[in-house]
Structure 1
C-alpha cells in the first residue's frame, strides 16, 4: 500500500467529521465496534495501534487477523500476535541522525553501484532532525558563555553540519532544525507535535493520531501530549522513514493510577523519580505504561511530559497520557492554530480517545500512587531508578564511601565509625568540622581563592536536559531559589562548574520575563547553550586545578544535574557519583558545594551577617511558583518558533553541494563511507553456524549502551585518539564520540571503550580492555578484535541481565558488528538494543533460567560454538551452545533466540535491516 492510497477498510469504518470549518475523513473505532464488539475499554494506547491497523489494512502486512488479535487482547490482557505499526513521522537528533543520514547516503551509493536510481532511497514519511547534542560546556559562568560555546560548536562540527545541510537538500521529506535552537524532545513537544495528524489521500483529507518513532530513547516525552511514540535505534528509524513498518508484538499495558495532589514544596521531578522507582520495581521492560486516574485532572502537560520522558529509565516502551482538557490547554499555550486544536478535540471525542472522568480501561496489571505521598527526592549515584529521599542523601553518600580506602569500616564500631563519618564530610561549608581533613582531600587555588576539595564535593551543577527544562514550574522554582539566595548574599562554591542549558529559547524568554535570569547569572547559571550538554556527557572540562585535585587525591566527587541519565562515565570521566535532581535542588547544591549534607537539617551557607541559611529559607511556595508560571505566554512560543528552521547567519552561510549522491572525502575525520554494503549481492549469503569463536568481552549485569558505545570524551592514548592524531587532529580538537558517529573508524575504536566498563576476563581492570586469548596479552578491545579478524576467528560477547540498557544508540550494535562479533549471549536484554543487534545482523541469544556465565564458570578463555543457525531462522527458536574449556572439556546448554518476530528473522537473514531495504527497493524498481 502506498502512502497515497486508502486502506482496504473491510469493516467499512471510513467516516467523516467537521472541525475548524473543514471536513476530515477518519477510520472510526466506534464503527469498527459495530463488528468487533465493545472495544472502548481497550487502553488508549492500544486504541491508537488499532486505528493504525484499520487505516493501513492491505491484506498483506495488515489483515483482519491482526484486528481480531486486538479484540482478543481485552480477554487475555496480552498477546503473542505480531503487528506492523506505521508511524506518521520520524524524529532524529544529530548524534543519532548523522549516522542515519550517512547510512542513507551509503544506501544511495549502493543502489547506484547496482545500476539503480539513487533517488529510490528517499524518506517516505516526514523526518525532522534537531541538532541538539553537539554543544559542549566549554565556557561557563559568564555572560558570553552562550555565544562562545555556539562559536566553538560551529567550528568543531563544521564537517558534520555541512553534511546535514547536504542531506537537507538531497532528500525529500527531511527538515533540519539548526544548532542553538533547542532539544529535539522539547521542540517536538512545544512545536512539532500535532496530537492529531492529517494528510491528503486521493480526494479526501484523512485525520489520524499523531504517532512517531525517534532515534533517541526520550522520544517518549511526547506521550505527555497524547501522542504515541517511542525511541528506536537509528537503523530501525531509517527503515521506518523508507516505508518499512515497525514490527512489534501487541504489548502488555501496565496501568498506573494517579490520585491526589503533590504536597507543598514537592516538585514534578520528585514525582517522576518516585514513578520511575515504582515502575522499575514493578518490571515493565518492553511493555506500554499508561497513566489514568482522577489525579490527571489538574496535572499539566509539562508534568506529564516530565514523567513520560523517563520511560526508558523505568524500562517501558512508552508512558502514555490520553487526550483531555489539559492537552488542549497546552496546545493553546504553545501557539498551535485554532483549527488544529478544534480537530484534536473533535477527533479524540469521536474516536473514544478522550479521557473521561472515572473511565478505567482494562490493563495487563496496575499500580497506584497517591501524589500526596511523594517526598523530595534525588536519584543516583549511577542509575536513574535508584531514588534517594533528599533527607537521606548524606547517609547515601557515606554508604558509598565506606568501601573507599581510608574510610571507616563497619568493624570499627559504631562510635568511632559515626564520629569519623561526620568529620569525613569536612569541607568549607557551614555546619561541618572544618578542622578535619579527609586523607583524600586536596588543597587548591581557584580564581585566586585558597580552598579545599573533599569527598562529596559537587564539581558540576547543571540545569540541563529535556526532562526538566521543558517544565516551567521547576524552572521558575530554580529562579526563585536563586533570587532568594542572592538576596541573602549566598554564593556558589568556587569548585562548582555551573551551567544552564534549556531545551528551547522559550525558557530564556520566560526566565527573563520573570526577572530570574539575572539572579541565576549571579550564581553562575548563565546560559551556556540550547542542547543536552551535561546530560549527554557534554559537560566539558573541569577547571585544571579541580581535575588535578580529583586525580591526585582519587577523590570521589559528585555532579548534580536536572537530567535523566547518570550512568557510569557518562557525565564526566572523573566524576564517579552523579545525582539527578530538580532544577531548584541543582541551585541549592551549587550553593552547598557538597552532597554530604542533609539539606533538611544542615545549612547550605551563611547570609551577609554570618547567620546560617537553610534550604527551607530559600524554597518557594506553590503559590510563588504558580504566580511565576503565569508569566509564560503564548506569544513567546509563536515568536521563537516562527523561523525555527532558518538558523543563524553562520548556519545559512554553509556551502551545500547540490548533488543527490554524496561526494565522500577520504580526508574527513567526521564523515566516512561506512563499509556495511561492501560486497553486498542481490541475495543474502546463507547464515552459518558459529564454530570455535573466542569471547571478546565477558560482562556483568546492567551493561548500558553507554558502556558499549560511549558518547563523551576520549583520551589521546585510546585507539580512537591515536587514529585521530595519526590524521593530524590534536587532542583539544577530538570533540566527542557522539559527534564522530559519522566516522565508523572512530566508532569501531570506541566500542566497549567506556572508562568504567569492566571486562571480567581481566582482574579488577576498568576501561575498554580485553585479553587476547591466543597470547594472553591485555590490550584494547579494538586491537584484539582486529587481531582476531586477521586470524579469521569469529567472536561472541557474553553478558548478564539487562544488556543494552539506556540510550537508543545504534552504534552500540554497529560497532559490535564491525568488530566481528556474530552473537551476544546474555541473561536478558533491553528492547531497543536487542532490536538494533538484529538490525545489524548480530544474533541476540538468551541463557535459559538458571544458566549464566557464572554457572558455566566462564573465564573468557573458552571457545564457543553455536549450532542451529544454518537452518531456517525463526522467532524464538532454540539453539545449542557448546563451551570448550582450556583443558579440552566441554559443556553445553540451550539458548533462546531473541529474534522475536518474523520480520526480525528476515532482517537477520539479510545481514541487517538496511541490506533488506536496499535489496527490496532494487527488486521493485
Structure 2
C-alpha cells in the first residue's frame, strides 16, 4: 500500500508515511484521532502491520478492542534495570553458542542507550566535599558493574553508555537524546518518522512532554524490543484532559503534577493513554509539560502525551538542538498532522476538564503519590494519619504518639513529625528550571534573614543534569542552598529511589530507641513505604521550594500557611516572606539559561568522564563470567533450554507462598534499597566474605540473581497475611507450618518439587517497572498469581517470565471465597489457551474439601500465549534466532 509522500526540508528530500492519506483511504478524518493514536498509526503503517492498522483505524474510542504491536524506534535503559537486561543479553549469547549458533545473533536491532544514574548514594551530605566523596564511593562500589557495561559497550553494536556524573536518565533524554523526528536511510531513500521509545524506568513517560510517545516497560520487555520483537498492549482508551485557565502565582508545576495525580487516579486512568489539550495547555512551558508527563505512572496511565507545538520548538532551540533539526521537526509534524491544532478537538474516550487556576500549593503523602494534601491541611492530615488504621494513609498508632520525643544529644531532640531528611531530587522536578530557581531564590532570602536548618535533618541537592548546576551557579543561587545544607551530592536519582544513604548515627538511634514517626520531604515522585529510608515512616512529595521551606521549619507539624517558619532575633518569618514571585523566577531563567550551556554540558558526553574511561575490561563477543563476583552472575534462565518447546510445568497442588492485600507495589516485591545483614541476601553476601559496609544496595546488585531472588518479597513493610503478626518477607511453610523467610520457604518447596502461587488483591504490581519483581518471583518457583487486578507493566512481566496471571471474577476475592492461604490450588489450563479465557480452578482445603471456581486468564494477546508455551519471552527469542540461523 503506497502511503508514502515526499517532503523537502533544507534542500534535502525525504519520504514519510502520510497519516492523513492512510486514514482517508479508509474514509476516515484525521482530525478525529488523538495525536498519540496518529503516532501509532504511522508506526503500524511503516512496519507493515496491516491487520493491526486496519483495526486501529476502525477502533471505537468508547470501547476499544484488540491489541497493538508496538515497535519503538529506540530503547533507553537506566543502570539498575539496564544491567540485568544486558546480563540477559550476554547470557543469551552463551545459550545461542551452546545450541550451535553465533554470539552475534544476539545483538540490539535498534539503538539502545544506557544512562548510569541510579548508582550514586548519598553517603555524604551537607558539605562541599559531598559530591567528590559520593562519586568516589560510587565508582569503588560499582567497579564490577561498570567493567561489565564497558565490555557491553565494545561487544554490542547499536549500544552506547552515558557515564556516571552526567544526569538522570529522563532529563538527559529530554535535554539531549531525543531528536523528536528521526531520519533513516531505507532502500536508498531518507525516511522520516517520529521518535518513539520504551525504557526500563517507569518515568520514561517524561519524554511525552516533548511530544514523543514512550513509556516504561520491564527489563524483560525492553530486551524483547532490543532484539526486534514487538511489544503488545491492549488498544488503549485515550482520555483527553482539557486544561483551561492559568496557574495561580503561588503554585508550581509540582503542585499541578500532584493535583493531576490525585485527579486522574480517582478517574481510574490505569492502563489508558492520557492526552493534554485546551487553551490552558498552551500556557504551560515545555518543562511544566514534562513534569506532568513524568508523573503518568503515579496516576496510572500508560502515557501522558503532550502534542508538539511552538513551545516544543522553542524548547528544542533553548536546549541547543541544531536549527536544521528544529526545522525538520516543524516541517514534518505540520505536514503529517502531528503539530497541535487548537481549533480541532479529536474524539477522545472521554474528556476531563481541569481549570488550572484551581490548583493549590500541595504535598502528597505520607505513603503514596496520589494522596494529595493542600498545604494548609498538611499538619492536621499528618496528625490524623497517626491514629488512622494501618494502611496507605494511616499508621495505626495511639493518641500518645503525638508529642512523643527522643533525645539525639544533650542539646538536640526529635519529636513526632520532625524532619529527618529533606532532599531536592528526582527527574520530575530537577528538569524544571522554574521550581529549581524558586528553591534557590527562597534559600537566598532565608539565608539573608539568618534562617538555619536543624543539624538533625539530612539535606541534599541532586541535580538532574549539569545544566541545573550551571544556571544555579551562574546566578549565585548554589551558595545560599549550600549554606542551608543543600550541597550537591551527585548527579543521579539518589533519595527518590531510596539511595538516601544513612542518617546521622545519633539520629538513627533516637528514632529506633523511641520508635518515632519522623518525616521526610523530597521533590521526588515516589514515597511508598520503606522506599525513601527504612527508618522514616512519613514521606511527603513537594516542590523544591517547599522542600527548602520544610527543612527550615524542621517539622511536618507546622501549618506553613499561617504559622511562622522560624523566629529570628524575635522576628517571625513566614513562608510568604520567602516565596519568590513569578517575575523573579522568570527574569532569572531568561538571564541565566541559554542554548550554549546545554551544548557545552553535553559535548563529548560519552567520552568526557576520565574515571569511566580508565576502567579496564575484557573484550570479545561473549562475556568472561567471574564466579566470585557478587555483582554480575550468569543467570540460570537458559540452563536447560532446548531448541524445541518443552512441556509446560504442572499447575496442580500449588501451595500459597504468600497472601497479600491491595496495592502491593513492585517496591514491595522487587528488592530495592539497603541490604539488611539479617536478611537472606545479607547472609548470602556475608557467607561470600563481604563486610556489611560493602553490601551496597539491591539496585546495584541487580546483575546477580542469587542476591536478587533472596530479596524478592523482602521489603520490610510488606505484609503477608499468612504471618499477620510479622511484617517483612516472611511466610508459613505449610508442610511443617513453620514461619520462615519467603526465600527459605520457596527453596524448600522447590526441593520437594512443589509449585507455588501468590494470592493478592487490587492493583497488584503498581509502581516502578521493575523486572526483578517478575524475575525473582519466577526464580522462587511461583507458577501463578491470582489477583483482583494488575498494574499493566507487572502483568506483562509476569507473563514474559512464564508465570500465569489469573484474575478473580468481578465481585470475587480471596475474602469473598473464604481463602485463608492454607489451601492448595490446581489450575485447569488448556494446552492451547485463548486470550482472556475463563479457566477452572480448584482450591483444596487442609481437611480435603474443595471449592471450584472460575478465574480470568490474563493472557491479553496471542504473544502472551506464545510466551507461556516457551516459558518466557527470552527462550522464545532464542528459539526464533536459532530457526533463522538454520
Task: Give TM class, smaller chain.
Answer: over 0.9
Residue 76 of structure 1 deviates from its aligned partner by: 4.6
Q: Confirm or deny: 8 A CA contact 2:61 2:348 kept in the other structure.
A: no
SS at match of 2:411: strand
In structure 1, what is the Cα distance between the partners aligned to 2:468 and 2:126? 18
Query: Within the alignment, does 1:583 sit opposite 2:574 as a pair?
Result: no
Give the structure 2 partner of residue 39 of structure 1.
30
User: Which of residues 194, 210, 219 is equivalent to 1:225?
Assistant: 210
Residue 647 of structure 1 deviates from its aligned partner by: 4.1
User: Which of residues 609, 613, 619 is equivalent to 2:579?
Assistant: 619
Query: Within the alignment, does 1:302 sit opposite 2:287 as a pair?
Result: yes
Q: What are the superposed Cα offsets for residues 551-600 of structure 1, whole Å, 9 maximum, x if unpaired? A: 00100011100000001111111111110000000000110110011100
Query: Within the alignment, does 1:442 sit opposite 2:403 as a pair?
Result: no
In structure 1, what is the Cα distance between the partners aligned to 2:261 and 2:753? 45
In structure 2, what is the Cα distance between the partners aligned to 1:369 and 1:871? 49
User: Which of residues 185, 191, 200 is equivalent to 1:206?
Assistant: 191
Map of 1:595-744 to 2, 5 A cutoff?
A: 595-607=556-568, 609-630=569-590, 631-744=592-705
SS at match of 1:341: helix
SS at match of 1:294: coil
TM-score by length of 2: 0.98
Query: Within the alignment, does 1:553 sit opposite 2:539 as a pair?
Result: no
User: Which of residues 171, 179, 184 is equivalent to 2:169?
Assistant: 184
Query: Within the alignment, does 1:140 sit opposite 2:125 as a pair?
Result: yes
Change (3 A) 1:688 1:657: closer
User: Which of residues 50, 54, 58 is equivalent to 1:68?
Assistant: 54
User: Which of residues 873, 876, 880 is equivalent to 1:916?
Assistant: 876
In structure 1, what is the Cα distance between the partners aligned to 2:334 and 2:180? 13
In structure 2, what is the Cα distance between the partners aligned to 1:528 and 1:767? 30
Q: Confirm or deny: 8 A CA contact 2:77 2:199 kept in the other structure.
A: yes
SS at match of 1:681: coil
Give the structure 1 partner of residue 525 of structure 2.
564
In structure 1, what is the Cα distance between the partners aligned to 2:61 and 2:701? 47
Query: Within the alignment, does 1:314 sit opposite 2:305 as a pair?
Result: no
SS at match of 2:30: coil
Runs (4+) off by over 6 Å: none
Map of 1:153-552 to 2, 5 A cutoff?
A: 153-403=138-388, 438=403, 440-445=404-409, 450-552=411-513
In structure 2, what is the Cα distance between the partners aligned to 1:568 and 1:128? 31
In structure 2, what is the Cα distance between the partners aligned to 1:691 and 1:849? 24
In structure 2, what is the Cα distance between the partners aligned to 1:76 and 1:737? 42
Q: Confirm or deny: 8 A CA contact 2:7 2:15 kept in the other structure.
A: yes
Gaps (5+ residues) in structure 1? 1-9, 426-437
Residue 297 of structure 1 deviates from its aligned partner by: 1.5
Give the structure 2 partner of residue 19 of structure 1.
9
Deviates more, 1:48-57 or 1:241-250: 241-250
Q: Confirm or deny: 8 A CA contact 1:689 1:870 kept in the other structure.
A: no
Residue 688 of structure 1 deviates from its aligned partner by: 4.6
Give the structure 1 partner of residue 845 of structure 2.
885
Residue 812 of structure 1 deviates from its aligned partner by: 0.3
In structure 1, what is the Cα distance between the partners aligned to 2:10 and 2:470? 31
Gaps (5+ residues) in structure 2? none
SS at match of 2:32: coil
Query: Within the alignment, does 1:106 sit opposite 2:67 as a pair?
Result: no
Q: Confirm or deny: 8 A CA contact 2:423 2:495 kept in the other structure.
A: yes
Give the structure 1 partner of residue 41 of structure 2.
50
SS at match of 1:690: coil
Change (3 A) 1:323 1:76: closer
Residue 733 of structure 1 deviates from its aligned partner by: 0.9
SS at match of 2:7: strand
Residue 479 of structure 1 deviates from its aligned partner by: 0.2
Residue 83 of structure 1 deviates from its aligned partner by: 2.3
Q: What is the root-mean-square deviation in Å for CA atoms of aligned residues?
A: 1.5
Aligned length: 878
User: Which of residues 860, 883, 897 is equivalent to 2:857?
Assistant: 897
Residue 687 of structure 1 deviates from its aligned partner by: 2.3
SS at match of 2:562: coil
SS at match of 2:652: strand
Q: What are the superposed Cα offsets for residues 342-362 of structure 1, whole Å, 9 maximum, x if unpaired? A: 010001101111112232110
SS at match of 1:729: coil
Residue 473 of structure 1 deviates from its aligned partner by: 0.1
Q: Confirm or deny: 8 A CA contact 2:671 2:708 kept in the other structure.
A: no
Q: Confirm or deny: 8 A CA contact 1:69 1:79 kept in the other structure.
A: no
Q: What are the superposed Cα offsets for residues 379-425 of structure 1, whole Å, 9 maximum, x if unpaired? A: 011111010001000001100122599xxx9xx9xxxx9xx89xx76
TM-score by length of 1: 0.94
Residue 689 of structure 1 deviates from its aligned partner by: 4.4
Residue 301 of structure 1 deviates from its aligned partner by: 0.7
Give the structure 2 partner of residue 6 of structure 1.
none
In structure 2, what is the Cα distance between the partners aligned to 1:121 and 1:523? 51
In structure 1, what is the Cα distance between the partners aligned to 2:22 and 2:303? 25
SS at match of 2:360: coil
SS at match of 1:212: strand
Q: Confirm or deny: 8 A CA contact 1:20 1:340 kept in the other structure.
A: no
